[in-house]
Structure 1
Amino acid sequence: MRALNFVRCVLLLAAARSGAFGQQVREVQLLAQPRLGADPRAVAQFLMAAGAPIHHTITPLNIHVVRVPAPAADRIQQALDRSGLFTFVEKDQVAHTMATPNDPDFPSEWHLAQILAPAAWDISTGSAGVTVAVIDSGADPAHEDLRSKLVAGWNFLAGTANTADTQGHGTATSGTLAAGSNNGVGVSSLAWQNPIMPLVVVDSTGYASYSNMANALTYAADHGVKIVNMSLAGASASATLQNAVNYAWNKGTVLFASAGNSASSSPYYPAACDNAVAVSSTNSYDQLSGFSNYGSWIDLAAPGENILTTNNGGGYGAWSGTSFSSPVAASVGALALSIRPALSASALVSLLEQNSDDLGVPGFDTSFGWGRVNAFKVALAAQNYAADTTPPAVTISSPAPNATVSGIVTVSGVATDNAGVTKVELWIDGAVSSTGTSPAFSFSWNSAGVPNGSHTLTVKAYDAAGNMGQASENVTVSNIVPPDTQPPSVAITNPADAAQVNGNVKITVSATDNVGVTQVSIYIDGILQYTSGSAPCTYNWNTKKAAGGQHLITAKAWDAAGNFGTATSVTVYK
């Protein structure tokens, strides 16, 4: 009989540590995102002068990672924040593994029967065309149940393509998600055919930084991966992580993340990020695991106790924790996408939620979210899914192509779709400026926010299936720009101070300026939630992902000269 170790394990994000992950922290990493339109040379020069030279940049998110001496970190962070050059500045966080040896008894792969995997396999065993990414400590390239499944990934610690496991946790989560199956050896997984892309962010001592996690997620999205598992959980919210999750989601990539093992209702991240799928853990009796986190931010549940999987260095072991319920849920997502590759991110998540096994109180609840995943129900629903693949058609009626414009420019037109338009966006030179929901769109764009010269206007329209259609045209901006030292005036007009909130809450911000507002950013508890290129703007805050108690809403607005104003904060209670 195999010697098996039972390990209760989850990756918990610790409070701020960064730089080298040694015993003594001498440097702190700051994450800084320049405001829209900020001159890159001015940003780099300011960072250098502040004693915070750019170490590297998370390019898809335009977030600079800078290293500063620990004693000066707070002072430098405040200086960067006051400069007006940055939308947000935050300390990098780190993650570490916590494992405790326990029961050596041999468990069966009960979880596959629980989610009706055998019935699902009669429909599909996955697809070699749907790669899954595992953001963790790497994967054992010699393991008999993994070596045929691994594809090229990246090591964000070493900056190389060596993705061998640094710590052991990644091999276990990889095997849970997509171990080789029907091969006469070892264990099975739901996703027999799906290749695994290992992305290494956890080092040999068990630490991983937020910046590397964000880098890995954007890397997966940029390489066409649609299913990503991140078995990490931490109590600190982060604008950098939220930016990365949104970036991936907008590319059709769904992040599955462990809820954490603290038996707590407090939100843990990245699971509690908007657009992430937060997965709690269940046992063989379909009860919430005693260690599992829970709360209004949970989306789905999956088996997470006694999960037999691959061990680093060979062999097999039984592991427990939401670190393992998350890849079980991700494997169901991979199976659905293998059956119906055209599913959008939102359609895929809806399919999983609507075809789960409802546990606890009827409907959504704080223990199981929408229910415990059911692979057979999801596979059947994916097989019968009537996909809408027709994108909206977009026509820009004003301004005319190649027009010369100045000041406030009205960008108007119409979007049409066979099933209905759900969202319309105005993009300026590849960056989103404004968002609306009306098919007959009319956006106000302040052209003073860009240099004089040629610029590209793009209007993108989306339908409920996630199909996107767009139209673009070039215009020439010609503005007379006088010196401007007056900052915008900003106010939060909704919700009211001291309001009680729940469900979806509209946060509305107004801003005015003597020349024109070019950017408005909304923050909740100091974390950037939304940025718009125009004012007024509205952000729909899903409080389901927020902890109970007091929350602070703030807002900032910038003009083209870089002047910025800050709104009087609003305190609300959930």
Structure 2
Amino acid sequence: MSLGGDASSALDTEVNNLLAAGITTVVAAGNDNGDACQKSPARVSGALTVGASTETDERAAFSNYGTCVDLFAPGTNVTSDWYSSPVATAVSSGTSESAPFVAGVAALCLEKYPTASPLTVSQTIISQSTLDVLLGIGAGSPNRLLFSLIDSLADTTGDSQLLADPSFEYGTTFWSAGICTIINQGDCPPDEEIPMSLPAHSGKGHATLGGKPQSFQLTSETVTIPSSVSRAELSLYLWTMTKGNTKKADDTLTVEVRDASGALLGT
């Protein structure tokens, strides 16, 4: 996809719907020289988000960067077809030039393995990219450059992405949160389910931590880890927004992992 802009839950939802339907989706990281995680659909976790590299193996000065970028592909001075006539060509630069290279490799991968899922195609392309050859990639970016000769599918059975809940991963359902206004956590009632509307990194919900007038708030999400997995690592993405311009008190965020019975597994 050669489109993008500021964060948009509507655009994110459409891309997530494509992924949930089994369609591998490649998106441009954007040309703002900023954090791709603040742009849509570049921030969609299931899409292949592509930054632009130069002829000298550097991140293009305009290319967005960060943890939402999956890899880089050539994106400067690219000669391609042009709209002015059936035989016209033009030289242009941008992540919109980079994304088609990755989409082409995805198409070759699907030609060879037509039943591969979007996750498998993405992980295959990422895992077989060339490591550590790019300069100036930007904070949080992976140092990965597209490699087009896919020899085999990536084994995703041992991949770090183990969650088996497509609605959670692709953001097709709302998260829920329980609000407790009592300072003593032990006195909090069971979670009160309420829908929320602001976009999250994955999913379509957000939670207010320590926001006025709450002195305590609980937010929870249920996920399923495959039974064959003996060890798993869960990661957390935190995006903090505040209107405060003076420090009055500290807010504390605690993450707990519990099993189906509610027993605490770790904090």
TM-score class, shorter-chain normalisation, is: 0.5 to 0.7
Letter paired with 2:164: K
Q: Could you tell me which of 201, 204, 213 is aligned with 1:529? A: 204
Distance 1:551 1:251, change over 3 A: same
Q: CA deviation at 1:360?
A: 5.2
Q: Which has the higher strand share?
A: 1
Query: Could you say what secondary structure the match of 1:380 adopts?
Result: coil
1:323 maps onto 2:96 in alignment: yes
Q: Distance in 1 between matches of 2:166 and 2:81?
A: 45
What do the CA deviations read for 1:169-209 (whole angstroms, capped 9, x no partner)?
xxxxxxxxxxxxxxxxxxxxxxxxxxxxxxxxxxxxxxxxx
Q: CA deviation at 1:296?
A: 1.9
Paired position in structure 1 for 2:21: 251
Contact 1:242/1:274 (<8 A) preserved: no
Q: Could you tell me which of 77, 81, 84 is aligned with 1:306? A: 77
Q: Distance in 1 between matches of 2:174 and 2:155?
A: 31
Q: Distance in 2 between matches of 1:305 and 1:332?
A: 18
Paired position in structure 2 for 1:240: 10
1:290 maps onto 2:61 in alignment: yes
Paired position in structure 1 for 2:125: 352
Q: Distance in 2 between matches of 1:290 and 1:311?
A: 24
Distance 1:340 1:262, change over 3 A: same
Q: Distance in 2 between matches of 1:368 and 1:489?
A: 31
Structure 1 residue runs of 4 or more that deviate by more than 6 Å after TM superposition:
385-388, 432-435
What do the CA deviations read for 1:262-291 (whole angstroms, capped 9, x no partner)?
222353211112222211101111111111
Q: CA deviation at 1:520?
A: 3.9
Q: Distance in 1 between matches of 2:46 and 2:17?
A: 10
Contact 2:71/2:126 (<8 A) preserved: yes
Letter paired with 2:44: C
Distance 1:375 1:340, change over 3 A: same
Identity within the alignment, %: 23
Distance 1:302 1:425, change over 3 A: closer
Q: Distance in 2 between matches of 1:357 and 1:268?
A: 25
Using structure 2 for the length normalisation, give the TM-score. Answer: 0.61
Paired position in structure 2 for 1:511: 191
Map residues 169-188 of structure 1 onto 2, 5 A cutoff: none
Q: CA deviation at 1:258?
A: 1.2
Q: How many residues align?
A: 203
Q: Distance in 1 between matches of 2:134 and 2:76?
A: 22
| Bigger RCO (CA 8 Å, 6+ sep) | 2
Query: Could you say what secondary structure the match of 2:126 adopts?
Result: helix
Q: Could you tell me which of 470, 490, 494 is aligned with 2:178? A: 490
Gap regions ≥5 residues in structure 1: 1-229, 389-420, 427-431, 436-487, 494-509, 553-569
Letter paired with 2:17: Y
What do the CA deviations read for 1:348-374 (whole angstroms, capped 9, x no partner)?
111011000113589x97475251110
Gap regions ≥5 residues in structure 2: 182-189, 207-218, 224-233, 243-250, 254-267
Distance 1:288 1:367, change over 3 A: farther
Query: Could you say what secondary structure the match of 1:272 adopts?
Result: coil
Paired position in structure 2 for 1:381: 152
Q: Could you tell me which of 259, 262, 287 is aligned with 2:32? A: 262
Q: CA deviation at 1:238?
A: 2.0
Query: Could you say what secondary structure the match of 1:511 adopts?
Result: coil
Query: Could you say what secondary structure the match of 1:375 adopts?
Result: coil
Q: CA deviation at 1:425?
A: 8.0
Q: CA deviation at 1:305?
A: 0.7
Letter paired with 1:423: A
Query: Could you say what secondary structure the match of 2:11 adopts?
Result: helix
Q: CA deviation at 1:316?
A: 0.7
Q: Distance in 1 between matches of 2:41 and 2:197?
A: 19
Q: Distance in 2 between matches of 1:275 and 1:303?
A: 22
Q: Distance in 2 between matches of 1:270 and 1:433?
A: 18
